[in-house]
Amino acid sequence: MPRLSEYELIVSPKAESQLKKISRNHQKVLIETFGEIIENPLLGKPLGRELTGRFSLRVGVYRLVYKIDQIDKKAIVLMIGHRGKVYN
C-alpha cells in the first residue's frame, strides 16, 4: 500500500468549482476524505466503460471521481458531485 508521503493530491479546477457549491459541512467531510485518498489511492471503486482508469469514492450522498498517476505519484480529483448526478 502506498505511504502518505508518496502521493500528492491535486484537485482539478472543475472539481474545485463543484466543491465550492456544496455546503460547508459536506465540504469539510469531502476534504477530510482527500487525506484518505493520499494514504491509499486505491481506496475507491474502479470505474468502467468510458470512465475506465478512474476511481469513485462514496462520501455520504456525494461521489469523488479521481484518477491515479502512478508515475508521478499523484491522485487527481476530477469531479465531485451528488451520487445521482456526478456521472452525467
DSSP 47: P
- Is residue 87 situated within a structural domain? no
What is the residue range of 9's domain? 4-82
Backbone dihedral angles phi then psi of residue 76, each to the nearest 5 degrees: -115, 115
Render pLDDT for 26-66 as a digit per residue (tens, 0 to 9). Answer: 999 999 999 899 988 999 999 988 889 999 999 989 999 99
Which pTM does this prediction carry? 0.86
Grid coordinates representing 52 are 475506465
Q: Is residue 31 part of a domain?
A: yes
CATH number, position 28: 3.30.2310.20
The number of domains in the chain is 1
